[in-house]
Structure 1
């Protein structure tokens, strides 16, 4: 029997967060600082798994000879990432060390774009975690993101397979099935919900709906957890969702969001134009 670490005082002292909050009593960065002091070392490492996408982005920039993005809040210091690229010491997570070596050797692990290869390797890394919560959450998020991608590709007549990551049953079905729900709705009840949301032309409402789906998943995953590390992670993940929307509520946040939307639309309009 595996004994879980319990954090009664830490969890009891955290503020409540709700999806419609616009003013936060605690920021994600503030939470990370508190958590680093309160959690055991192995649980801090578990928490930091969810911030590694920033390291992934920074590494991609550095490997492509681009200037580092100083706004990225990485787990590993910029100097550490730069050093690992120039003189590898295997000081980063295994998947990131492997990606750097493969990229430099020009033999990437999967036959998709470098960005997708790194995302694939990252989710594989999470799905090998000793935490069942982390494994299940990672697979759920990967499945939903893959489904969003497949539906968008189908809408604009793009080939689906090169855009899908992962090697589970869900990913394989997205690459091969021509049915409306990719033959997945019976086994994965959330598929129909995602298909419905992706049909909404209001991108803000769509994003809100997808975040609500994620929120509900997190809530259900920890319904019987009270003071465990899983509860800490669920709070953090919900806080990340709320903080993202609170930033979008500001004028600058709305501007950035619309710039992303515009770029997204143009990329597919370009593909559609040259398809005909």
Structure 2
């Protein structure tokens, strides 16, 4: 869940985004299929974009370590990644050499241009604390979307789909390093609160342990859809086997016929 909207320099609950190398190795080792997910996103953009704009330009917001971005760059004439965490961007630069990367908050970064496709994946919008934050972020993403373009957003769970008490447990081995991750998630009002424990072992650094806490908002589907419409977009919610919480696919009217 890359690209939080909190300040990673001062907020201890986002430690894993300082440890971007561990984050990247964990999801790679666990088998997250970035290539298949990128292919699904690419197909949705191609289906809904105004003719001639689907292969134009891509903006990936909350790009994290660039795993989706690396799989998508070959399908677009140019691509740009944005994330709040400098450590995540440093790993992304290794994964997507030559791709422009910008540090910024999804609510207010400004690039001064538009793109034919804008993506925000891995439930990063769940870190937005309020409906006003969601509005600000969606408006900002929409402002970077060209007429006829497509915005793809992977939400966090809707309240009715969230399963309190969920326990996750994985051990992965990547390039000689072992990462064990155990998590427990509960509901607190309109939010989910996930406590995560990491144990990391490597021949050159030994064993270390750290914990992380992720508080994410359980926005209603209608809240997302209203935010898209207020931003001038036409949203559609799509259930997909690769994305547990589903996807919102929103189009900006206009563009060449």
Structure of greater relative contact order (alpha carbons < 8 Å, 6+ residues apart): 1
Is TM-score (shorter-chain normalized) higher than 0.5? no
The normalised TM-score by structure 1 is 0.27
Determine which structure has the larger strand proportion and give its number.
Answer: 2
